[in-house]
Amino acid sequence: MKLLLSLVVAFVFVSSIASSYAQIGQNNISIYVQVKVENSDGALVAYLETDKVTVTDYAKLNSLLDANSPTLHKKIVSTGSQKYELLKATAVQVYPSSTIVSLNLISVQQDNTPDKLLAYADHDGYPVVKGDKATVYWTILRPVS
């Protein structure tokens, strides 16, 4: 399975745990997304955080998270007697043209088939111009069975 991470016009993923997470119902997966946009001089253009995350395919997302990918940083954390797996990944995109990005997503591609959307983070969006760099941090927390 080839891992393909992408923004609507770029691509995404995780780092950094935050104080609140989106509770995604089924499987009790919690996801938090942070986006930092810098111009070509390194000055901060935008910073967004969201817990508005929609998972479109829990089974495939869990399968992707179970894989030993070098883009995923995993660790086990405990709260009382409950253990959780904390997964973090980070992706960086330098934009080749001006656009507005209002959605970040996780998708996979398998055997030259079209990308399969697994989850997306909805936020207020941010404008970028050619040369801007977006760093997207996804933090995912799920119970250990």
Are the C-beta atoms of residues 47 and 37 closer than 8 Å to each other? yes
Higher pLDDT, 123 or 135: 135
Whole-angstrom CA distances from 36 to 33, 94, 110 are 10, 12, 29
Look at residue 1 and tell me whether its pLDDT is greater than 50. Answer: no
Are the C-beta atoms of residues 132 and 95 closer than 8 Å to each other? yes
Which pLDDT tens digit goes with each residue over 30-60? Answer: 999 999 999 999 999 999 999 889 899 888 9
Please count the CA atoms within 13 angstroms of the CA of 79 that sit on its side-chain side.
Answer: 7
What is this structure's pTM?
A: 0.76
Q: H or E segment at 131?
A: none
State the average pLDDT over residues 91-108. 88
Strand, helix or coil for residue 85: strand
Count of domains forming the chain: 1
Domain boundaries, position 83: 2-143
What token pair was written down for 50? 């969201």
CA distance 129 to 126: 10
